[in-house]
Amino acid sequence: MRRDVRILLVGDEGVGKSTIVTSLIKESFVPHVSHIVPEVTIPPEVTPENVITYIVDSGAGPQDRQHLESEIRKAHVICVVYSIDNPNSFDRIPTFWLPHFRQLGVNVPVILVGNKIDLRGGEVTNEALEDEIVPIMNEFKEVETCVECSAKLPLNISEVFYFAQKAVLYPTAPLYDSRDHVLKPACVAALRRIFKLCDTNKDGILDASELNEFQRKCFDAPLQSKELEGIKAMVAEHASGGVRDDGLTEAGFLYLHTIFIQRGRLETTWTVLRKFGYGEDLRLREEYLNPKFEVPGGVGECSVELSQLGYEFFTEVFEIYDKDQDGALSAEELEDVFSTSPGNPWAAQNFPNSTLADDSGSVTLQGWLAQWSMTTLLDHRTTLAYLAYLGYPREPRTSALQITKPRKTERRKGKVTRNVFLCYVCGAAGCGKTALLRAFAGKPFRAEYSPTGRVESVVGSVDIEGEEKYLVLQEFGSRYESEYLRNSKKLDLADVIVYVHDSSDTNSFSYISNLRQQYAGGARGGSGLGLDKVPSIFVATKSDLDLALQRHEVQPDVYCRRLGLQVPVSVSVKTGQIADVFHQICSVAMKPNAHIPGGADRAMSASKRLRTYFAVSALVGGCAAALVMLLRTLLKPGGAGLPSWSPAWATWLIGAPKR
């Protein structure tokens, strides 16, 4: 909602524009006022809506035209004033003023103000007013309402500006079609979404507890029992099917807001819409979908995970929409889950093949939580937006996420506390990377080879010492591999590199060796981070086939030992013999220092250097101590029969500079 309102008063000469402004400020009638009253600023604390209000007067003479048109373009709302004793001033509203605004390209709310009702005794004639105003409102949709007042009495002066404020802060046009007297489609769509979010048990009815929670969220107060019964009685009387099983249906909810708008209580509907994140265009605001959430040092240093509150929320969503209670979400149930959002966030990806599902392809709870864990790790802003779409109930919504400690800090301390790990899977085409990923996601083995044309990701959970960790495995098509390994920022994201080679293909391992050599030191001109700085594990696939001698200067096991790493883990996805390879990958992520290529050699060298340092220090220290003892003995008076010139001789002995 905007924090300022600029109100412009226009109208023919002599209708009382300046007098209306003066009567508002002075709270009494001022008989003689200037031709145009200077602009008035009303501070927010004295207005009902707590907004800064600017009131601008204008003239209607030829000399005022330039100033008038300038102010019309700056106004947020225009009050067109006419005098009830001057029918011509009223007739010019539809024939001159309203067409003039359109001609200038101005489309703002308009309030019609009938002044000088003191001339007919101060009475407001609603029936006559309706007969005259309704045709104008039907032709000009920008006209919000009409207010009759008297600057002389004064009467209804504050109401003029109150309705002008409301027309800006709670506009009718986005919500209601005044010609057909129905809610506009965008308003209906927004209210239907809000109804679904408030219907927590998804039974199609807002019961007493759900209505109370809705009232508390929007208006910070529960509904009184009498108010609740009165609402249901009114809806039941006028809206067919609006009440069912003592609760409010979607039809009843929409009818209720239609009545609010028709009775001029637009602030009620706008308050509801804004509480649920909608802007003036009835779209969810960008700042609502993406609240401020800064990751210190960037996602290369720290990663983002779901917090316990986040996991609890997504678990609750799963259980609510699992209508048949079979422990999995079918395609239809998933469609229902995302009915309050733009759609499935993974529709363009490999979902549901990217996570665990049952035999029918329905996503299990474990797979559902794993998929959100991967989404949060790779793109936490998508998770934040969908927390809003799905109705995360807590504020701030960022409480559903948590930021991990920096990777460098955890590696330095040798203790990793994060729960979700990203692993890049690299290897030559046809070596079995895709089969390995499919096996991790619980998908059946496929014998036919299909080249990877994009970045493929799968996620699953691994139990490490009684704690559930999530592992995200990513493989790249040939066109993407160099992009990821050359880019130090992307390489920063990896917790583990998994090098895969086909143990039955004599040329498979050379690809890995060349890859490591090419990107060992990182990108040229980059941060220097390369493959030799990332914890690694080697995997030999197709162990069910005959072992081939690799065409490489050393065999894979020797290669790994020289790097201080464990020998390749042998697996066969085809026969299901994958041992505990995923557990080992996760263990590498948990203890990264022990699995950095060359780490053992570096540690050994450092140890040798340290031992040498201490040995040399001890030797030097021992020699120095012996020399001091000798000097003390020699310099002792009469010691060892020294001649009288012994101090000078001693000075020469310890290497004093010659003079």
- The 3-state DSSP class for residue 363 equals strand
Domains 4-169 and 289-404 share a fold: no
Determine which of 103-117, 404-418, 542-556, 574-588 has the lowest per-residue pLDDT on average.
404-418
**Length of the chain measured in residues:** 659
Query: Quick check: 418 pLDDT over 60?
Result: yes
pLDDT of res. 126: 65
Helix pair angle (157-169, 266-275), 10° resolution:
30
pLDDT of res. 599: 59
Per-residue confidence band for 609, with pLDDT thresholds at 50, 70 and 90 = very low
Cα 457 to chain centroid distance, Å, stands at 21
Tell me the domain boundaries of the chain: 4-169, 182-283, 289-404, 410-600
Residue 354: phi and psi, rounded to 5, are -85, -5
Token code pair at residue 420: 């979700």
Check if the beta carbon of residue 355 is closer than 8 Å to that of residue 457.
Answer: no
pTM: 0.84
DSSP of 53-94, one letter per residue?
Answer: EEEE----SGGGHHHHHHHHHH-SEEEEEEETT-HHHHHHII
Fold category of 4-169 in CATH = Rossmann fold (3.40.50)
Q: Looking at domain 289-404, which CATH architecture does it have?
A: Orthogonal Bundle (1.10)
Average pLDDT over residues 16-43: 94
More confident residue, 533 or 194: 194
What distance in Å separates the CA atoms of residue 120 and residue 567, rounded to the nearest whole number? Answer: 101
Average pLDDT over residues 551-567: 96
Domain 182-283 falls under CATH 1.20.1290.10: no
What distance in Å separates the CA atoms of residue 191 and residue 212, rounded to the nearest whole number? Answer: 17
The CATH superfamily label for domain 410-600 reads: P-loop containing nucleotide triphosphate hydrolases (3.40.50.300)
pLDDT tens digit string along 259-315? 999 998 999 999 999 999 999 999 999 999 999 999 987 666 899 999 999 999 999
**pLDDT averaged over the chain?**
88
Determine which of 140-144, 259-263, 575-579 has the lowest per-residue pLDDT on average.
575-579
Check if the beta carbon of residue 470 is closer than 8 Å to that of residue 513.
Answer: no
Residue 108, H or E segment = none
pLDDT of res. 616: 38
41 beta partners:
54
Average pLDDT over residues 538-547: 97
pLDDT tens digit string along 245-254? 999 999 999 9
> Which residues, 6+ apart, have CB-to-CB distance to 167 below 8 Å?
77, 109, 110, 111, 144, 145
User: The tokens 């035999």 sit on which residue?
Assistant: 359
- b/e burial code for range 646-658 (CB count within 10 A of at least 16 → b): beeeeeeeeeeee
Nearest to 565 by CA among 605, 607, 520, 534: 534
Cα 326 to chain centroid distance, Å, stands at 31
